[in-house]
Chain A
Amino acid sequence: MTITINREFKLEDLMLDNSKNKDVVYDTKNLNLWYGEDQALKNINLKIYENEVTAIIGPSGCGKSTYLKTLNRMNELIPSVKTSGEIVYRGRNIFDKSYKAEELRTQVGMVFQKPNPFPKSIYENIVYGPKIHGIKDKKILDEIVEKSLRGAALWDEVKDRLKENAYGLSGGQQQRLCIARCLAIEPDVILMDEPTSALDPISTLKIEELMQSLKKDFTIIIVTHNMQQAARISDRTAFFLSGEVIEYNSTDKIFSTPENKKTEDYISGRFG
């Protein structure tokens, strides 16, 4: 509830387009993507700004998840994917031969639709990322665990049972654990693929509040099919339809005075 009230107070500043003073994290230029013969993304041009929450909305199959998964090159796990164009992340094209996907993914963390903790203890889940990057010092790992769990607002709930299996947590806690696991590699960007679609309203609210606190330190890009959620939490919204960006603007603009008729139809629930 508090979020909505805050939003009204801040509405004035947000209406101003402050993109000029902000650093661009991702600059997508003429991105096309095919699954085999089917073109899933068509000529996408999009700039993602630092320390903002950028929401991507659109009906099922519009390419929003595909776009998100391209940002950390997770799409490469599907053999038939082909891309053209550029995504420049902090000045470097992520499709460059010399840019290793593993390197990119330590900068760009991801939270998935369904909570997917490893079948390990809470502690082991958090230290998994740091460990695969070669950190062995127990003291440092302990510190990372506490910091990450605090960052994901989960520390107080689980600090006494770090050695227990992560599957003992509730769905909402599991999802925050996944966020904590992602924070443990201290990323720059966090990608969230419908992170609350499998959760109850209270857990959803907690994650939304969490995102507001996380955006101070991270850039967040979230795919959601819940338009109210996009309106509540994001600074900027992109509307995708049939693999194209129909409209991209500050969230308030998109939800109050959309420029495109299709956007208006979608957010007013006339289709999708």
Chain B
Amino acid sequence: MRILNNEQITNGIGRRLLTNKFTKVILFIATLFSLVVLAVLMYRIMNQGLPKLNLDFLTKFASRRPANAGISGALVGSIWLMIVVVPFSMVIGVGTAIYLEEYAKKNWFTSFIQVNIQNLAGVPSIVFGLLGLTIFVRAMDLDRSILAAGLTMSLLVMPVIVVSAQEALKAVPRQLGEASYGLGATKWQTIKNIILPAAIPGILTGSILAISRAIGETAPLIVVGALAFVNFYPSSIMDSFTVIPIQIYNWTTRPQIEFQEVAAAGIIVLLVFLIIMNSIAIIIRNKFNKRY
């Protein structure tokens, strides 16, 4: 005696396939939606900005006259900022991740820290700006410098780096570590030679995302005092500065219509800057990417 009714099953197939198709269409539309928005955005920016984008724009400083306005001061400022943010956030972030994942005992205190780090990743960036203003600019007397801003930005992106680096370390197969310990290696030797190299692709992926956020971030830098008008190149990390997103923001608030075009050109520069940063990170990642 069969329990299942074959006829019923056969009749149901058509409907199930229809549901399948319907779902596929819905999901495709969801994907299409973001693609269309991106395309419209790109079209508008390119349309407005490309005519302005030339060597002059890249080499000139900001100006009151839109025809003379350039992005060089902000571009160099952004590069300076990254010089502080990348090493600082990665060393401290990855270091924290290694400690929490490999060394720290699993108890209520470490899970408390863990939860707090995850919460920090969700704190609004302006709050980090106020923190930076209080600690780095005022208390440590770093003034409105690249260093103060860079440290603030590092704090902002660090939680994301810590969490993603922890995930990457966790994903390294346990057998690899065991093999190393089994040969008499110490914990640090095992981490340095086996676990970290295997985790680097994952760590970089998370760091790329985090640092990309720092490149486009505006709010905390306004608070710690990035300048809106810069007509010099910073010569050290103690100099004042501006960055591309602040420059763009500044241009978009101008009444002259020409400044909108200048802003669009600035956005293109920012996008290219992001793509270059990401490409470098992806190249490094692929170099280390070995299967295990």
Which residues of chain B (147-199) have a CB below 8 Å from chain A? 173, 175-186, 189, 193-194, 197-198
Asked whether, in the complex, the Cβ of A119 is within 8 Å of the Cβ of B290, the reply is yes
User: What CA separation (Å) do A118 and B291 show in the bound complex?
Assistant: 10
A165 to B292, CA, bound (A): 11
Q: Are B184 and A165 in contact (CB under 8 A)?
A: no
Cβ of B105 within 8 Å of any chain A Cβ, yes or no, is yes
Q: List 26 A-B contacts (CB under 8 A).
A: A77-B177, A102-B185, A102-B186, A103-B184, A105-B182, A106-B184, A109-B182, A109-B183, A112-B175, A112-B179, A116-B173, A116-B175, A116-B179, A119-B197, A119-B290, A119-B292, A129-B183, A129-B184, A132-B180, A132-B184, A132-B185, A133-B184, A167-B291, A167-B292, A178-B179, A181-B183
Assuming the A-B contacts A79-B106, A116-B175, A167-B291, are A132 and B182 also in contact, with contact meaning beta carbons closer than 8 angstroms in the complex? no
A interface residue numbers (CB < 8 A to B): 72, 74, 77, 79, 102-106, 109-110, 112, 114, 116-119, 128-129, 132-133, 165, 167, 178, 181-182, 185
Chain A residues in 8 Å Cβ range of B290: 119, 165
The residue in B105, B106, B292 that gathers the most chain A C-beta atoms within 10 A of its C-beta is B292
Bound complex: CA of A262 vs CA of B175, how far in Å? 34
| B interface SS class | helix
Question: Once the chains bind, are B291 and A110 in contact (CB under 8 Å)?
Answer: no
A182 and B180 CA atoms in complex are apart in Å by 10
A103 to chain B, nearest CB (A): 7
Are A132 and B183 touching (Cβ within 8 A)?
A: yes
Interface size in chain B (residues, C-beta < 8 A): 23
Q: Which residues of B contact A132 (CB under 8 A)?
A: 180, 183-186, 189, 193
> B194 touches which one: A77, A118, A133 (CB < 8 A)?
A118
A116-B176 contact in complex given A106-B184, A165-B290, A182-B183, C-beta closer than 8 Å: yes
In the complex, the chain A residue whose C-beta lies closest to that of B186 is A102
Q: Which residues does chain A contribute within 8 Å of B193, judged by CB atoms?
A: 128, 132
- Tell me which of B106, B186, B198 contacts A119 (CB under 8 A): B198
- 8 shortest interchain CB distances as A-B pairs: A116-B175, A106-B184, A110-B182, A129-B183, A105-B184, A119-B292, A119-B290, A132-B185
Q: Does the CB pair A77–B178 fall under 8 Å?
A: yes
User: Which of B178, B186, B291 touches A74 (beta carbons < 8 Å)?
Assistant: B178
B175 touches A114 (CB 8 A): yes
Q: Which residues of the partner chain B approach A181 to less than 8 Å between Cβ atoms?
A: 179, 183
B182 partner residues in chain A, CB cutoff 8 A: 72, 74, 105, 109-110, 112, 182
Residues of B within 8 A of A167 (CB): 291-292
Question: How far, in Å, is B135 (CB) from chain A's closest CB?
Answer: 36
Partner of A116, one of B178, B186, B197: B178
A residues less than 8 Å from B183 (CB atoms): 105-106, 109, 128-129, 132, 181-182, 185
Contact with A along B190-221 (1 / 0, CB 8 A): 00011001100000000000000000000000
A77 to B291, CA, bound (A): 25
Question: What's the Cα separation between A129 and B182 when bound, in Å?
Answer: 9
Chain B residue nearest to A117 (CB atoms) is: B179
CB pair B180–A128 under 8 Å, yes or no, is yes
Measured between beta carbons, the chain A residues less than 8 angstroms from B177 are 77
**Shortest CB distance A101–B (Å):** 8
With A and B bound together, what is the CA distance between A117 and B113 in angstroms?
34
A119-B198, A167-B292 as given contacts; A185 in contact with B184, CB under 8 Å: yes
Residues on A with beta carbons closer than 8 Å to the beta carbon of B186 = 102, 132
Q: Which residues on B sit within 8 Å (CB–CB) of A116? A: 173, 175-176, 178-179
Q: Which residue of A lies closest to B197 (CB)?
A: A119
CB distance from A75 to the nearest CB of B (A): 11
Q: Kindly state the separation between the CA atoms of A74 and B181 in the bound complex, as whole angstroms.
A: 8
> What CA separation (Å) do A129 and B189 show in the bound complex?
11
Give complex CA distance A116, B197 in Å: 16
List, in ascending order, chain A residues with CB within 8 A of B180's CB: 118, 128, 132
The residue of chain B having its C-beta at the shortest distance from the C-beta of A116 within the complex is B175
| A74 CB → nearest B CB, Å | 7
Minimum CB distance partner of B190 in chain A:
A132
